[in-house]
Amino acid sequence: MRTQDRTIAKIPPANADMQTETRDKPFETTLAFDDNGLASVVFGHYDQNLAAIERKLGVVANANGNHVVIKGPKEAAEHARRVFEMLYERAKLGQGADLGDVDGAIAEGALQGSLFPSDPDQRPAFELIRTRKRGVVRARNAAQNHYLTSLKRHELVFAEGPAGTGKTWLAVGYAVSLLEQGAVERLILSRPAVEAGEKIGFLPGDMREKVDPYLRPIYDALYEFMDGRMVERGLETGMIEIAPLAFMRGRTLSNSLILLDEAQNATAMQMKMFLTRLGEGSRMIVNGDPSQTDLPHGEKSGLSDAVALLSRLEGVGHVVFRAGDVVRHDLVRRIVAAYDDSKAQARR
């Protein structure tokens, strides 16, 4: 991959501030990728990735074969170049490049440019996890990067934030990666079933048939990171256990990765019970969205209570996702932001 930079000459306007003129001077850089097929992955279907980079960074990007010419203010053009280079490196590893990957590369490129703008060798990369089925999965924004860093550093991690920020998906991916590395022997994946009271007796079927629909998001994430046959085998042997929160009582879970999802629907007593299941050689992840609790009015969420009590303890990590960290869809991000704004106005 080759890069060629040049600045387009421009006559400065009268009385213009020289610093502003230098910053906004049109700049042009050309990238030449070695593999035409991988270049087409980078540019996206019908050049949709190019269009997204142009729109979000305020540059013009013209692709021709395995070349892309980037024009715009120097800082923005350099940022776009870093984005294309990161997408190409991912394509070389066999990874795709959809619009979500573009957003992640833009966020990562912004971090790299702000910390080490002139030294490519020292630019930090976002954290990643690796599983056999999905290959390499990299954080898409600073919040996800903080989340993955916390998961790797701490034995217990609390994550709060709205839907669509990747809390459950990344947690399950990290859990699978530890299982495949042999760092843990079992995965225990749990959430409060139906609602905090777990009143599921009226539902037809055996216990698994009763609770499976409410644990479906965990199953979906699991099948994305593991081959279906391995998931089924793991469920049969007990290497993977998916169960409602009430099933955790009285147990000590050693050498395991334990995930509690939708933790905002756990009461304070349920949360204490769950957290004290942590055994030797185990790690625990607790996820939830405090704005979507189903607890009875006046009942304090166990997630909020635990964060207030424990987040400053040694060995405990705490990550907060915001509306701007939503990676599911641009419209989802705007929906979450609209609800947050409405709630903030109601408090005034």
Structure confidence by residue, pLDDT tens digits, 41-59: 999 988 999 999 999 899 9
Average pLDDT estimate for 104-112: 79
Most confident among 119-133, 176-190, 285-299, 333-347 (mean pLDDT): 176-190
- In the structure encoding, which two tokens stand for residue 4, read together? 């060629």
Residue 114 pLDDT? 56
Domain boundary assignment for the chain? 2-125, 131-347
Q: Which CATH superfamily is domain 2-125 in?
A: K Homology domain, type 1 (3.30.1370.10)
Q: What SS3 class is residue 67?
A: strand
Structure confidence by residue, pLDDT tens digits, 137-195: 888 888 999 999 999 999 999 999 998 899 999 999 999 999 999 999 999 999 886 55
3-state class percentages of the chain: helix first, strand second, coil last, to nearest 5: 50, 20, 30
Average pLDDT estimate for 24-40: 86
Looking at domain 131-347, which of 3.40.50.300, 2.60.40.1180, 3.40.50.2300, 3.40.605.10 is its CATH number? Answer: 3.40.50.300
The answer to whether residue 198 scores a pLDDT higher than 50 is no
Residue 10 pLDDT? 45
- Whole-number Å distance between alpha carbons of 286 and 265: 12
Average pLDDT estimate for 294-318: 91
CB of 80 closer than 8 Å to CB of 68: no
Nearest to 131 by CA among 86, 164, 179, 85: 179
The answer to whether residue 203 scores a pLDDT higher than 70 is no
Residue 197 pLDDT? 44
Residue 11 pLDDT? 42
CB of 48 closer than 8 Å to CB of 99: yes
Lowest mean pLDDT among 92-106, 130-144, 196-210: 196-210
Whole-number average pLDDT of the chain: 84
Residue 204 pLDDT? 57
Residue 138 pLDDT? 85
Residue 24 pLDDT? 56
Structure confidence by residue, pLDDT tens digits, 263-285: 999 999 999 999 999 999 999 99
